[in-house]
């Protein structure tokens, strides 16, 4: 199920809220990359509605599918920053919004100037694919079966109470059709006896809904399979039966007796040697921009990351049957990773020393929707070691030097239906940025007739987890957009392989060694890489900047889990998800190229992806470049994943490589013991 259920507003105690300045909806924007405010969303709604009038007689509805900041050109942002607005305020770049609405069965692209305020451009999108589905559309579509007589008959045949049935809409992809409509499948679940309705599907029953007409245009009831039992599916603590699980001993929480070590002004964050901006988009979710680090030895601030976010999350399931073959989700482009963000719970989702930031997006009718506590930001004291050494070789002396590690984490949780994705951006004093991903929530369950593996005589495309319950095999491919600006925009991509060399010198008993063979990618084709085939190191460097010893300054990609796509290249889901064909892509910066699966992903055909842009094989050496990294998980469900899944974690890191002249945290002072309660 991909429809998000809104959580109740979280009441935050004074102890959990750190003091930070927040811009009210009517104030002037201190930063041109700040997300759209509720006031701005209302202004946009009014402006667009005037230009696209609706009437009940013509049944012309107006659906706001995407409303986001039309970010200023990169040159404008950098010019604004160089004017040092913190010291001397300057006029920010024009404040604009990019809007996609569905009107008269067409997708309309609109740019709104918020300073005028007026529409400065609009056109009808004529390409393949449709815009992101809104929660409003999904909710209406999921209610249609209850007034549809064939569906009511299906419930009667199964002896099910309609009041205990819940339905949800699902994207259906594209499988070679010459023409397609904006259709979704609606499947249903039985809620009787458990909150875990995902574990009780009404298998074999599905309605097809046209979202533009908002009516059922197809219906199937192919077979009757008993609904899996509710027993053993509950996950709420208050409903769980004895015996209880192990009780974990608590510790005294980390307490900051003085002010927090970071400051938040609007959406700009400063901590230790890092400065960065936290943004939000209804499709991408969290956006980290303008990350720079202060070099103590050089006594200046240095640029690292201009802009980074999850561009797409591709989740193809591996059941080819009529009821499941189309289950190949694009969680950003079809469902909206941002609008699916959950309200974070203090003390559980985030530690007691966390500060929180809200987010706002436009609903189907354009009105602002608030996600309370959408972000949490906190200093992480995990008991890790930043660096250490014990020296015992010096006569009559033992030297032990240890520095404990502290980092700053920006966290969100996006609940896209049954799955909960925990996304962390972790900034370290050493200059590293660690990207954490946690997968939890509830598996996609298919009902079956089996209760034991001995009964299975054919492929069930998954794992038998409980009686009549099959967890279908599937993948998760996270595609990150990382516009690295290492000490400036002019960068290059260097790929180095570690190769074995035979030692020919007869004066040494060694027969072999390994060495590093480096190559600077000149075009996009040179930079496409599948990891795991060779030992390698991948760097983004500034070819015009070197250390005192002559090394090019850069940042290295330390990859996470490697999972290459296993679908055939001509399989329709893989055509649409072709951006996963390589683990690493590098493209020249282009403001319009930011969505890995394309701008209109619902029912897309793979003709507007990284693979298509990259086929032009543009020059990338000594250019403003973007690194795209695909981190994947092949998920073979196991019984421990049922009824709710323990968090499966992964991640990767961007690490400074010859960026500093020496260890940047050599002189770091560890937090005092008194600061740890």
Looking at the predicted structure, is the pLDDT value of residue 31 above 50?
Answer: yes
Please indicate, yes or no, if residue 676 is contained in any of the structural domains.
no
Please indicate, yes or no, if residue 225 is contained in any of the structural domains.
yes
Residue 211 maps to which CATH number?
3.10.450.40
Please indicate, yes or no, if residue 450 is contained in any of the structural domains.
no
Task: Indicate whether 210 and 314 sit together in one domain.
Answer: no
Task: Indicate whether 481 and 628 sit together in one domain.
Answer: yes
Q: For residue range 162-202, what is the model confidence (pLDDT) as tens digits?
A: 999 999 999 999 999 999 999 999 999 999 999 999 999 99
Q: For residue range 331-353, what is the model confidence (pLDDT) as tens digits?
A: 999 999 999 999 999 999 999 99
Task: Indicate whether 67 and 111 sit together in one domain.
Answer: yes
Q: Are 98 and 37 in contact (CB under 8 A)?
A: no
Looking at the predicted structure, is the pLDDT value of residue 458 above 90?
Answer: yes
Task: Indicate whether 53 and 177 sit together in one domain.
Answer: no
Please indicate, yes or no, if residue 463 is contained in any of the structural domains.
no
Q: Which residues contact 100 (CB under 8 A, 6 or more apart)?
A: 64, 65, 66, 67, 107, 108, 109, 110, 125, 131, 132
Which pLDDT score is estimated for 302? 98
Task: Indicate whether 121 and 148 sit together in one domain.
Answer: no
Which pLDDT score is estimated for 11? 33
- Quick one: pLDDT band at residue 27, thresholds 50, 70, 90? very low
Q: How far apart are CA 383 and CA 162, in angstroms?
A: 52
pTM of the model: 0.94
Please indicate, yes or no, if residue 256 is contained in any of the structural domains.
no
Higher pLDDT, 92 or 53: 53
Looking at the predicted structure, is the pLDDT value of residue 85 above 80?
Answer: no
Task: Indicate whether 42 and 109 sit together in one domain.
Answer: yes
Q: For residue range 201-231, what is the model confidence (pLDDT) as tens digits?
A: 999 999 999 999 999 999 999 999 999 999 9
Selecting among 419, 555, 572, 582, the annotated active-site residue is 419
Please indicate, yes or no, if residue 429 is contained in any of the structural domains.
yes
b/e for 644-654, b at 16 or more Cβ within 10 A? bbeeeebbbbb
Task: Indicate whether 48 and 183 sit together in one domain.
Answer: no
Task: Indicate whether 95 and 181 sit together in one domain.
Answer: no
In whole numbers, what is the pLDDT of the chain averaged over residues? 92
Task: Indicate whether 112 and 144 sit together in one domain.
Answer: no
Q: How far apart are CA 163 and CA 165, in angstroms?
A: 6
Task: Indicate whether 523 and 416 sit together in one domain.
Answer: yes
Q: For residue range 227-280, what is the model confidence (pLDDT) as tens digits?
A: 999 999 999 999 998 898 888 876 654 555 567 789 999 999 999 999 999 999
Q: For residue range 32-67, what is the model confidence (pLDDT) as tens digits?
A: 999 999 999 999 999 999 999 987 655 679 999 999
Domain residues for the domain of 62 are 38-82+91-125
Task: Indicate whether 299 and 406 sit together in one domain.
Answer: yes
Residue 376 maps to which CATH number?
2.70.98.20
Task: Indicate whether 291 and 348 sit together in one domain.
Answer: yes
Q: Is 624 a catalytic residue?
A: no
Q: Are 366 and 49 in contact (CB under 8 A)?
A: yes
Please indicate, yes or no, if residue 464 is contained in any of the structural domains.
no
Determine whether 551 is exposed, middle or buried from the number of CB atoms within 10 Å of its CB (0-12, 13-18, 19+): middle
Selecting among 34, 70, 212, 331, the annotated active-site residue is 331
- Sign of dihedral through CA atoms 405, 408, 413, 419? negative
Q: Which residues contact 494 (CB under 8 A, 6 or more apart)?
A: 518, 519, 520, 521, 538, 539, 540, 541, 552, 554
Q: For residue range 613-639, what is the model confidence (pLDDT) as tens digits?
A: 999 999 999 999 999 999 999 999 999
Q: How far apart are CA 472 and CA 320, in angstroms?
A: 11
| Number of domains the chain contains | 3
Looking at the predicted structure, is the pLDDT value of residue 13 above 60?
Answer: no
Which pLDDT score is estimated for 306? 98
- Quick one: pLDDT band at residue 90, thresholds 50, 70, 90? low
Please indicate, yes or no, if residue 258 is contained in any of the structural domains.
no
Q: Is 331 a catalytic residue?
A: yes
Looking at the predicted structure, is the pLDDT value of residue 418 above 60?
Answer: yes
Q: For residue range 251-260, what is the model confidence (pLDDT) as tens digits?
A: 654 555 567 7
């Amino acid at each position: 199920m991909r429809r998000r259920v809104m959580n109740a507003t979280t009441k935050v105690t004074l102890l959990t809220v750190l003091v930070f300045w927040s811009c009210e909806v009517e104030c002037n924007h201190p930063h041109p990359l700040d997300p759209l405010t509720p006031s701005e969303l209302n202004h946009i709604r009014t402006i667009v509605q005037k230009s696209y009038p609706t009437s009940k007689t013509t049944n012309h509805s107006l659906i706001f599918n995407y409303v986001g900041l039309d970010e200023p050109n990169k040159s404008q942002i950098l010019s604004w920053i160089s004017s040092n607005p913190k010291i001397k305020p300057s006029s920010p770049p024009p404040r604009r919004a990019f809007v996609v609405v569905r009107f008269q069965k067409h997708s309309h692209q609109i740019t709104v100037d918020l300073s005028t305020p007026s529409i400065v451009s609009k056109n009808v999108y004529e390409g393949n694919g449709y815009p992101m589905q809104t929660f409003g559309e999904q909710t209406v579509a999921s209610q249609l079966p209850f007034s549809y007589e064939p569906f009511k008959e299906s419930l009667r045949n199964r002896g099910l109470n309609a009041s205990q049935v819940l339905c949800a809409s699902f994207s259906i992809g594209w499988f070679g059709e010459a023409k397609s409509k904006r259709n979704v499948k609606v499947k249903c679940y039985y809620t009787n006896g458990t909150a875990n309705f995902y574990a009780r599907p009404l298998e074999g029953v599905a309605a097809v809904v046209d979202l533009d007409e908002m009516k059922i245009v197809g219906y199937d009831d192919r077979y009757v399979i008993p609904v899996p039992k509710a027993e053993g599916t509950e996950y709420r603590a208050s409903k769980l039966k004895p015996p209880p699980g192990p009780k974990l001993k608590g510790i005294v929480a980390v307490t900051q007796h003085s002010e927090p070590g970071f400051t938040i002004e609007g959406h700009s964050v400063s901590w230790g040697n890092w400065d960065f901006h936290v943004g939000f988009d209804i499709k991408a979710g969290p956006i980290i921009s303008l990350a720079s680090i202060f070099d103590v030895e050089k006594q200046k601030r240095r640029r690292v990351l201009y802009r980074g976010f999850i561009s797409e999350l591709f989740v193809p399931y591996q059941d080819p049957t009529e009821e499941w073959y189309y289950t190949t989700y694009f969680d950003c482009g079809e469902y909206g990773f941002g609008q699916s963000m959950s309200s974070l719970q203090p003390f559980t989702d985030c530690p007691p020393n966390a500060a929180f930031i809200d987010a706002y997006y436009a609903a189907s009718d354009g009105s602002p929707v608030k996600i309370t506590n959408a972000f949490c930001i906190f200093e992480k004291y995990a008991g890790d070691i930043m660096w250490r050494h014990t020296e015992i070789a010096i006569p009559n002396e033992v030297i032990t030097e240890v520095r404990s590690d502290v980092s700053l984490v920006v966290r969100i949780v996006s609940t896209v239906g049954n799955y909960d994705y925990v996304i962390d951006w972790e900034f370290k004093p050493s200059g590293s940025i660690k990207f954490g991903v946690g997968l939890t929530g509830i598996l996609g369950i298919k009902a079956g007739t089996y209760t034991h593996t001995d009964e299975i005589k054919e492929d069930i495309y998954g794992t038998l987890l409980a009686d009549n319950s099959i967890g279908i095999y599937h993948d998760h491919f996270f595609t990150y957009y990382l516009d690295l600006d290492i000490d400036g925009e002019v960068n290059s991509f260097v790929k180095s392989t570690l190769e074995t060399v035979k030692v020919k010198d007869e004066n040494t008993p060694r027969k072999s060694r390994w060495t590093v063979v480096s190559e600077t990618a000149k075009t996009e084709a040179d930079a496409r890489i599948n990891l795991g085939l060779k030992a390698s190191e991948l760097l983004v460097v500034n070819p015009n900047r070197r250390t005192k010893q002559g090394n090019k300054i850069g940042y290295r990609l330390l990859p996470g889990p490697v999972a290459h796509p296993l679908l055939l290249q001509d399989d329709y889901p893989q055509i649409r998800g072709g951006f996963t064909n390589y683990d690493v892509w590098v493209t020249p910066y282009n403001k319009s190229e930011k969505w890995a699966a394309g701008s209109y992903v619902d029912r897309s055909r793979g003709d507007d992806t990284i693979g298509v842009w990259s086929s032009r094989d543009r020059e990338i050496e000594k250019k403003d470049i973007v690194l795209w990294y695909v981190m994947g998980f092949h998920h073979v469900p196991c019984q421990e994943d049922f009824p709710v899944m323990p968090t499966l974690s992964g991640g990767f890191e961007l690490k400074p490589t010859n960026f500093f002249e020496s260890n940047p945290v050599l002189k770091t002072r560890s937090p005092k013991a008194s600061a740890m309660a």
